[in-house]
Amino acid sequence: MTATCLVVDFGAQYAQLIARRVREANVFSELVPSSITAAEVAERKPSALILSGGPKSVHVEGAPRLDPAIYELGIPILGICYGAQLIAQQLGGEVARGGRGEYGRTTLQLASPDTGAGVDGEGLLADQPTDQVVWMSHFDGITRAPEGFVATASTADAPVAALESPERRIWGVQYHPEVSHTPHGQQVIRRFLHDLAGIGADWTMSSVIEQQVAAVRAQVGEGRVICALSGGVDSAVAAALVHKAVGPQLTCVFVDHGLLRKDEAEQVVETFQRHQKIELIHVRAADRYFERLAGVTDPEDKRKIVGELFIRIFEEYAGGLEDAKYLVQGTLYPDVIESGGRDGAATIKSHHNVGGLPEDMTMELVEPLRNLFKDEVRRVGEELGLPDEIVWRQPFPGPGLSVRIIGEVTPDKVAMLQEADAIVREELRKAGLEREIWQAFAVLPDIRSVGVMGDERTYAHPIIIRAVTSEDAMTADWAKLPYDLLETMSNRIIGEVAGINRVAYDITSKPPGTIEWE
């Protein structure tokens, strides 16, 4: 049985990040709501608990609490920010109301061992610098540790910035070790998990593959399985993982709507049909899509048309596989979290890879990636031998290029955007920046501008380049690409793509903007 660390979410913006940091320490983690009871925790038998931060004050009426009986289970607990304050308050310490909060980079001082309450070789902060920078984000602060606890670190405005009770197996820090702004933060998390909670670093992508192969085989048996390939990373890795488990029992249906990036449809066919030897039904449906999209300019209408037509076409071809009882879905852990499924509920984001399959479908879902984050899915893909062109493919909207073309979608516009977009991605790859950028792409707006090419006046389309950095797409910052790289992209697009005479660069972050334009 895999050792698990439960991350109790008190509404923190960093809760998912804590779960990811635990996994980076090679320990499996799951997010659970703060309403979880001691009985529910005991039933799940976790090896450790981490209490997340939260936006509320522990003194506010209705602020989330932890079931006090959880502290008596003997499970190692680490409280972070609000979680640390909750430990102090619930176990008899004091948390100041208001006072002077701390936000951003703050200098932390570790207590000296000769004080009798300092950091020694056994504590949470062992082997760390006496003075270090940490990331704070709190208004209230712990002013007195509960009986049986010692304060092992402080800041100018937080007398108890870290507290420990090894006898009770409970530790807490007022700062955020999970963020990159705390240089020694991951050391804290690893120390808690491996040295204090005694969990081995044995959760790896190889072990994930072994577990999921066994799980898929147990679920499917000898049954026929189908998968709707979208051309994206998630469905591709899910298909490869299921194929490893059941081989020829899997058939993939790839609906090629003509709205993918340049050469991507060919890459999908090449990878799955020729290299992976997976049975693949390649449906060339571009003409049907362009016919339905003719004259449509509203982005929501485009999304609905693309999604609904995908379903209808998938149904047509899946109907020829009457014995198929199982449908592969590339559901990821963030989908489960966002849909409220993290507390054990069965609710998931409905069939996000295929746009929303009908409610009356009788096939049973196979979701081999539902416990994984995006970066973990990529690592699984690499372990399974999928090529970089598939594994490191950037996130791509379900409706494809239809929502990167502002206004009506036509074959000519798609071809124009495919060429410009390919140049953006090729130059980014040449510059060695491809994996540092969350998404980089071209947008074709529904406007024209005057230009001069040679001695002639032009009246043609502009291309807008969009490139962002992000960890999870919830927020994003525009990428500070080098000027010479932008210049190369611009010169190539204008020189090589007919119908384009101007290039602009979008420098809007999210928020206030979105990553995509539609």
Q: Is 81 part of the annotated catalytic residue set?
A: yes
Query: ω before 445 within 30° of 0 (cis)?
Result: no
Query: Which parts of 124-276 fold into alpha helices (H)?
Result: 185-190, 205-220, 233-246, 264-269
Q: Tokens 């635990």 label which residue?
A: 22
Q: Please give the full DSSP string across 310-326, using - where no structure is assigned.
A: HHHHHHHHHTT-TTEEE
Q: Is 176 part of the annotated catalytic residue set?
A: yes
Catalytic residue, from 30, 178, 264, 383: name it.
Answer: 178
Q: What CA–CA distances, in Å, run from 261 to 258, 302, 419?
A: 9, 17, 9
CB-CB contact of 96 with 141 (8 Å): yes
CB-CB contact of 441 with 518 (8 Å): no
CA angle 139, 189, 42 (to 5 degrees): 90
Q: What CA–CA distances, in Å, run from 388 to 4, 40, 233, 435?
A: 31, 41, 10, 11
- Alpha-carbon distance of 223 to 404, in angstroms, equals 40
Residue 469 C-alpha from the chain's centroid: 13
* Alpha-carbon dihedral angle through residues 186, 187, 188, 194, given to the nearest 10 degrees: 100
Sort strands 324-328 and 364-366 into parallel, antiparallel or unpaired: parallel
Q: What CA–CA distances, in Å, run from 229 to 79, 233, 322, 327?
A: 42, 9, 19, 11
Q: Is 461 part of the annotated catalytic residue set?
A: no
92 CB-near residues (< 8 Å, 6+ apart):
146, 147
Query: ω before 397 within 30° of 0 (cis)?
Result: no
The 3-state DSSP class for residue 50 equals strand
Catalytic residue, from 5, 30, 81, 257: name it.
Answer: 81
Catalytic residue, from 176, 243, 257, 351: name it.
Answer: 176
Residue 52 CA neighbour count, 13 Å, CB half: 29
Residues identified as active-site = 81, 176, 178
